[in-house]
Amino acid sequence: MDKTTVIYFDNAATSFPKAPGVAGAITTFLAESAANPGRSGHRMAVAAERMLDDVRLRLTRLFDGDDHHRMVFAMNTTDALNMAIKGVLGDERPSAGGRLPHVITTVLEHNSVSRQLEAMREDGQIELTRVTCDDEGFVDPGDIKRAITPATKLIVMTHASNVLGTIQDAAAVGRIAREHGVLFCLDAAQTAGAIPISITELNVDLLAFPGHKSLLGPTGTGGLYVGSRCPEPAEAVAATIEVGHQDKMITRKSRLRAWREGGTGGDSSTTRQPTLYPYYLEGGTPNTVGIAGLAAGLDYIEKHGIAGTLAHEQAMVKTIIDRIADDKRFTLYGTRDASRRVGAVAFNIAGYEPSDVGSILDTSFDIAARPGLHCSPYCHKRFGTHPSGALRVSPGPFNTAEELDALLDALNQIAG
């Protein structure tokens, strides 16, 4: 297959093409400076560590964090979400009243959130509330507020649905979490680099994100920003934080346990993980090669800004919605308002399985789009599309008007 002939509309899975410069940065780093950072103290190792530190700083700035030592590299969003969720809940025990730690999540979550929470629920470690969304694909923050109990420890929510593209009201959920002394973990898989994110303004305690989607870096990259309400590991064992809950103050420990332990390249004499972020959470050799590529993705984003790309993707989404929303051959899922979406649209064509539409697009039109459940079975159950799912089209910054025309023409031909 000639890659250059493929029209790629699967950017919600991973972006393609990557930003100009990413492949070159990877090749150069591999050829010239691919030492293991921090491990040896020689100049190449120090240079690799410096490169990591620079990317930490740039990511921290991008998300409006205040301490780049709290920017922890991960393999992908899933890895970061495991660090966050297992980190927060791993130490939890039933309260004095025998109540399990309570977690609130939503029907819009990806399996990287829902599978680990479901496993903890089945194992009797947590109580879980999964709030629903409305017909347009938005979670009502009021539903999250109403679900909070004195045992609620954590709210985990996606910033935008990876099926519908709908951008959730993270600011309102963050405010509610803060008012009730609950930690807020935001899954920014579909929004990091796609819409502006301020950890501070959104009151996010744990931000999990990929480097390989809208940050335009390679696969194998991602991160977790750990907010200041999670104390430094050294203080954490004894740490408590004073938080408000329904008019009375309660005291809650908010230690984040290292989910992956191992070598960190620093002081090897200690028997336990080093007690400083980011190393506390970063056991094992990091993906320096991928992070060098991610730096080139950040170059693109810093140069071009997020607003222009968002406008481009939303304009494409609007064109698709305008074309199919009132056409009886198509069923659109989620809001018609493209300004409330990132670059993703899911729909079905009457008389077709979504997998058939996906394979006709691929084999007859050289168009890549994603059919199925998109790792989000609860969302598809909510919209009545489980188990076949839907077809998701997700434009990215480099899709052209001609490619969009080709997609719409192909869909029209398939729908007959």
Contacts with ligand PLP by CB under 6 A lie at 13, 76-78, 110, 112, 158, 162, 187, 189-190, 210, 222
Give me the least distance between CB of 158 and ligand PLP, in Å please.
4
Q: Which is nearer to ligand PLP, 156 or 324 (CB)?
A: 156
**Least Å from the CB of residue 286 to ligand PLP:** 16
**At which residue do the structure tokens 């990557």 appear?**
18
Q: Indicate the DSSP class of residue 281.
A: G
DSSP notation for 115-126: HHHHHHHHTTS-
Q: Please, which residue, 112 or 254, has the CB nearer to ligand PLP?
A: 112
> CB-wise, 48 or 226, nearer to ligand PLP?
226
Output 190 or 309, the one with its CB closest to ligand PLP. Answer: 190
d(CA 233, CA 209): 22
CB of 161 to ligand PLP, least distance (A): 7
Work out how close the CB of 375 gets to ligand PLP at its nearest, in angstroms, rounded to a whole number.
6
Which amino acid is it at 332?
Answer: L
- Measured from the CB atom, the residue of 78 and 273 that comes closer to ligand PLP is 78
CB atoms closer than 10 angstroms to residue 201: 12
Please, which residue, 105 or 314, has the CB nearer to ligand PLP? Answer: 105
Is the CB of residue 133 less than 8 Å from the CB of residue 106?
yes
- State the minimum distance, in angstroms, from the CB of residue 227 to ligand PLP: 19
In the bound state with ligand PLP, the residue whose beta carbon lies nearer, of 181 and 222, is 222
Q: Provide, rounded to whole angstroms, the least separation between the CB of residue 229 and ligand PLP.
A: 22
With CB atoms as reference, the residue minimizing the distance to ligand PLP is: 162
End-to-end CA distance of the chain: 27
Our measurement of the distance from residue 359's CA atom to the centroid of its chain's CA atoms, rounded to an integer in Å, reads: 27
Q: How far is CA 63 from the centre of its chain?
A: 13
Those residues whose C-beta lies under 8 Å from the C-beta of residue 222, and which sit 6 or more positions away, are 73, 74, 75, 76, 77, 78, 79, 80, 208, 209, 210, 211, 212
Least distance from ligand PLP to the Cβ atom of residue 112, Å: 4
Helix 288-304, helix 43-62: angle, nearest 10: 40
Residues near 75 by beta carbon (within 8 Å), at least 6 away in sequence: 220, 221, 222, 287
> What span, in angstroms and rounded, lies between the C-alpha atoms of 178 and 290?
35
Nearer to ligand PLP, 74 or 324 (CB): 74
* Closer CB to ligand PLP, 117 or 236, in the complex: 117
Letter string b/e over residues 32-47, b meaning 16 or more CB atoms within 10 A of that residue's CB: ebebbbbbeeeeebee
CB of 107 to ligand PLP, least distance (A): 12
| Closest by Cα among 31, 80, 7 to 410 | 7
Q: Which secondary structure element, helix H or strand E, spans residue 129, and what is its range?
A: strand 127-131
Tokens 């629903």 — which residue? 132
Both tokens of residue 291? 């992070």
141/210 with CB nearer ligand PLP: 210
The distance of closest approach from Cβ of residue 210 to ligand PLP in the complex, given in angstroms and rounded to an integer, is: 4
User: Given the complex with ligand PLP, which of 210 and 372 has the nearer CB atom?
Assistant: 210
CA atoms of 339 and 353, how far apart (whole Å): 29
Q: How far is the CB of 248 from ligand PLP (least distance, A)?
A: 35
Cβ–Cβ under 8 Å, residues 218 and 290: yes
Least separation, in Å, of the C-beta of 58 and ligand PLP? 19
